[in-house]
Amino acid sequence: MGNKYKTLKQVSEALNKGEITSTDLSKEAVELSNKLNAELNCYTTITKELADELSQKSDERRKEKKALSPIDGIPMSIKDVISTKGVRTTAGSKMLENYIPEYNSTVYQKLIENGGVLIGKNNCDPFAFGGSGENSGYGPTKNPICLSKVPGGSSSGSASSVKAGLTYFSIGTDTGGSIRQPASLTGLSGLKLTYGRNSRYGLIAMASSLDTPGILANTVEDIAIVEDIIKGYDEKDSTTKKPGNDFSFVDSLNKDIKDLTIGLPKEYFIDGMDQDVKNTILEAAKKFEKLGCKIQEVSLPHTEYALPVYYLIVPSEISSNMGRYDGFRYGNSDENSKDIAEYIKNSRSVLEDEVKRRIIIGTFALSKGYSDQYYKKAMQVRSLIKKDFDDVYKNVDVILTPTSPTVAWDIGEKVDDPLKMYLADIFTVTANLTGMPGLSINAGYKTITPRKQDVDINGNPCTKLPIGMQLFAPMWREDLLMSLGNSFQKAYPELI
């Protein structure tokens, strides 16, 4: 909405040709971010001074024809759960309102080393706990295509900043759909990588066995460009993939997709889902058929247990990870307390309601007498869910599903009903429970009759809302997602 150049690739080529400078791009991005953030609330911090410094250095390199990478000099944003040295990192929570890290996360370090220009830190649900962007301690993020609607969460600010044209890509995190769902609700492309593809070092942890940093951008091609920079083994994260058996994401974009078999799981087309969403995804399957793919119905019988399993495992890991925020080691400190118990209680009083809710659920699930009944059983069912997918991948190459059961909903519509909110993750959590990669791209639109409040960031009536489709692939086979996603977007550019 705010950029002359639609995609990262286009602006990279413009920089190479000297049509524009990084300094000009950065200045425009910062000015527009400051202007629109009052409405969108997609940033917790805008980094003007840092952006000026990084863009000037990029222009100097280009004068000497020493550009570092395709992202050199290009504005980007980073979800505020990702550590950035010297830049406030709040995790969307008042608990860390004044926290300034002394080190960079690995993904951010790689971006900076390749010339990326940080415009700001993106607002998000606190500690990434949420699916709508409404739980942040700094207020809800709005959807730039329809300001009355949520942009999805927890990477809400990341999606909002890219869709509004404030940056060309953003790094988010995905623990249960927090990249893919915002991509779906805003009409972007969003990639959740295989667990271990990208380093988690420097991420403020939510659920350590599921957290995955990934990318939100306008196109699959843009995602591939960025992922080739941030992927890879990191000695600081023992869960990352060891060197070897890797591939170029960019080189995977144009691989032939003819004769690939796409599975349609019957369990993902459930009663109660938006009929427009269902019809659009089935139509997308037909479009893949026209591109030469084969469509086959498949069954994932343990799908119905995925959401309850997720909401036992994740709060349990949250309960453990959140123990460090006691006012002594990390977080808000209440120095007027009379004793230690009061100190911890008062220090933690600033935690947002959704954070408290998940800590309580997790603590209960891990408590004596219940851990075997809940947490251990959930881990066993998690293994069954993974086996379902492993079995299906013996007969199909990828799996196609809706990303979200609905289009973007009104801000405030579900905040008083946590269960209804959690159901929005029903199609995305399996990728995190199994570790497999998932890509969401726009598949079409739902036509709506706009109300007075249904306007975009430019004040125009919102008459349609995007519908995301999701492609799953076996672990380490993101190359299939890149080729399928790119082929679809090249065939149907009107959906970008």
- The tens-digit pLDDT sequence of the chain (496 residues) is 567 899 999 999 999 999 999 999 999 999 999 999 999 999 999 999 999 999 999 999 999 999 999 999 999 999 999 999 999 999 999 999 999 999 999 999 999 999 999 999 999 999 999 999 999 999 999 999 999 999 999 999 999 999 999 999 999 999 999 999 999 999 999 999 999 999 999 999 999 999 999 999 999 999 999 999 999 999 999 999 887 668 999 999 999 999 999 999 999 998 889 999 999 999 999 999 999 999 999 999 999 999 999 999 999 999 999 989 988 888 888 778 888 888 888 888 999 999 999 999 999 999 988 899 999 999 999 999 999 999 999 999 999 999 999 999 999 999 989 888 998 999 999 999 999 999 999 999 999 999 999 999 999 999 999 999 999 999 999 999 999 999 999 999 999 9
Query: Which H or E element spans position 163?
Result: helix 156-163
Asked if 87 contacts 121 with a C-beta cutoff of 8 angstroms, the reply is yes
Nearest to 92 by CA among 159, 40, 161, 156: 156
Q: Tokens 């809302």 — which residue?
A: 465
Strand ranges, E, within 26-162: 43-46, 75-79, 117-122
Cis peptide preceding 83, ω within 30 of 0: no
Helix (H, G, I), strand (E, B) or coil at 350: coil
- Tell me the pTM: 0.97
Of 26, 178, 189, 316, which residue is the catalytic one?
178
Asked if 217 contacts 155 with a C-beta cutoff of 8 angstroms, the reply is no
Q: What is the DSSP string of 209-241?
A: TT-EEEEEESSHHHHHHHHHHHBS-BTTBTTSP
- Token representation of residue 171: 């790094």
Q: What is the pLDDT of residue 438?
A: 98
Active site residue 154: yes
Of 69, 154, 347, 404, which residue is the catalytic one?
154
Residue 222 dihedral angles phi and psi, to the nearest 5°: -60, -40
Integer Cα distance of 490 and 484 in angstroms: 10
Integer Cα distance of 436 and 454 in angstroms: 36
Strand ranges, E, within 136-201: 169-174, 189-192
Number of H helices, E strands in the chain: 16, 11
Of 79, 142, 192, 231, which residue is the catalytic one?
79
Integer Cα distance of 134 and 313 in angstroms: 23
- Token representation of residue 423: 């159901």
Q: Tokens 């990279």 — which residue?
A: 12
Query: Which H or E element spans position 311?
Result: helix 306-321
What sign for the dihedral angle of Cα 143, 230, 118, 253? negative
Contacts of 197 (CB under 8 A, 6+ apart): 212, 231, 240, 241, 437, 476, 478
Asked if 441 contacts 183 with a C-beta cutoff of 8 angstroms, the reply is yes
Strand ranges, E, within 175-286: 189-192, 212-217, 261-265
Active site residue 178: yes
Exposed e or buried b per residue across 69-84, where buried means at least 16 C-beta atoms within 10 angstroms of its C-beta: bbbbbbbbbbbbbbbb
Asked if 446 contacts 406 with a C-beta cutoff of 8 angstroms, the reply is no
Integer Cα distance of 387 and 230 in angstroms: 29
Q: Which amino acid is at 417?
A: D
Q: What is the pLDDT of residue 245?
A: 64
Query: Which H or E element spans position 402?
Result: strand 398-402
What sign for the dihedral angle of Cα 379, 380, 382, 386? positive
Asked if 112 contacts 118 with a C-beta cutoff of 8 angstroms, the reply is yes
- Token representation of residue 36: 């629109």
Asked if 234 contacts 106 with a C-beta cutoff of 8 angstroms, the reply is yes
Integer Cα distance of 282 and 221 in angstroms: 24
Contacts of 477 (CB under 8 A, 6+ apart): 194, 437
Q: What is the pLDDT of residue 65?
A: 95
| Domains annotated on the chain, with CATH | 8-252 (3.90.1300.10), 261-495 (3.90.1300.10)
Distances from the Cα of 341 to the Cα of 319, 328, 334, 357, 438, angstroms: 18, 12, 11, 20, 44
Q: What is the pLDDT of residue 244?
A: 67
- Token representation of residue 480: 């299939």
For 4, which DSSP code?
S
Percent helix, strand and coil across the chain, each to the nearest 5: 40, 15, 45
- Token representation of residue 234: 């990191």
Burial class (CB in 10 A: 0-12, 13-18, 19+), 129: buried
Nearest to 209 by CA among 302, 300, 320: 320
